[in-house]
C-alpha cells in the first residue's frame, strides 16, 4: 500500500508491478477476545470509522416498536399486546448478560454475540401465529424457545 505496487517473487526478472487506481476497503471488530490488534503503521493508510453501540433505551424503543406493530396489526389478544415491553426487556437482559459474561476466547471463538442475535429473538417472536398464540403463557414459551435457539445453542457446557 505504501509503495504503490510490488515485486513478483516468483519471476524476479520482471520489473516492479505498479498498482494504479485501487481502493482498499476493510472492516473489523474491536480487538480482543481472539481478534488481533492492528498497528499504527497499518492504520495510517486507512480512514477509520467507528460506530457506537446502542444504549438500552434505544434498543427498547426499536424492538418495542417492532413488536407493538406486529401484535396490533395482526390483531393479537390485548394481554399479548401488553407484554411486548416485558419481552423486549427480558431479551435485553439476556443479550446484555451474554455480551458481558460470555466473552470470546481462542477456544470459544463462537461466543461472538451482536445485535443480530437480539433481532433474531424478536423476529422469531414475530413469526407467531395469532390463532395458535392465544395467551401470554404460549407467548412466553415461544420467547423461551427463541432465546434457547439463538443463545443457548452456541454454549459448549
pLDDT in tens, 6-59: 888 887 777 888 888 888 888 877 777 667 888 888 888 888 887 788 899 999
Domains of the chain by start residue, with CATH = 56-154 (1.20.920.30)
**Hey, CA dihedral for 103, 108, 109, 115, is it positive or negative?**
negative
Which triple of cell numbers denotes residue 68? 407493538
Instruction: Determine the length of the chain.
Output: 157
Under the banding of pLDDT at 50, 70 and 90, the label for residue 147 is: very high
**DSSP SS3 for 5:** strand
Helix (H) or strand (E) holding 18: strand 17-18
Q: In this structure, how many other beta carbons lie within 10 angstroms of the beta carbon of residue 8?
A: 11
pLDDT given at position 126: 94
Under the banding of pLDDT at 50, 70 and 90, the label for residue 138 is: very high
Average pLDDT on 111-121 reads: 88
CA distance 62 to 123: 12
pLDDT given at position 19: 85
Which triple of cell numbers denotes residue 93? 437482559
Amino acid at each position: 500500500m505504501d509503495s504503490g505496487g510490488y515485486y513478483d517473487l516468483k519471476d524476479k526478472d520482471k520489473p516492479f508491478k505498479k498498482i494504479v487506481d485501487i481502493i482498499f476497503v476493510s472492516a473489523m471488530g474491536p480487538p480482543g477476545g481472539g481478534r488481533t490488534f492492528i498497528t499504527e503503521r497499518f492504520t495510517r493508510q486507512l480512514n477509520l470509522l467507528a460506530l457506537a453501540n446502542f444504549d438500552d433505551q434505544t434498543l427498547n424503543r426499536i424492538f418495542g416498536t417492532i413488536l407493538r406493530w406486529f401484535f396490533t396489526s395482526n390483531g393479537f389478544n390485548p394481554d399479548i399486546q401488553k407484554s411486548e415491553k416485558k419481552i423486549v426487556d427480558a431479551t435485553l437482559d439476556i443479550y446484555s448478560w451474554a455480551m458481558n459474561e460470555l466473552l470470546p476466547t481462542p477456544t470459544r471463538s463462537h461466543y461472538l454475540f451482536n445485535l443480530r442475535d437480539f433481532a433474531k429473538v424478536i423476529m422469531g417472536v414475530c413469526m407467531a401465529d395469532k390463532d395458535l398464540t392465544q395467551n401470554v403463557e404460549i407467548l412466553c414459551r415461544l420467547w423461551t424457545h427463541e432465546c434457547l435457539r439463538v443463545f443457548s445453542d452456541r454454549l459448549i457446557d
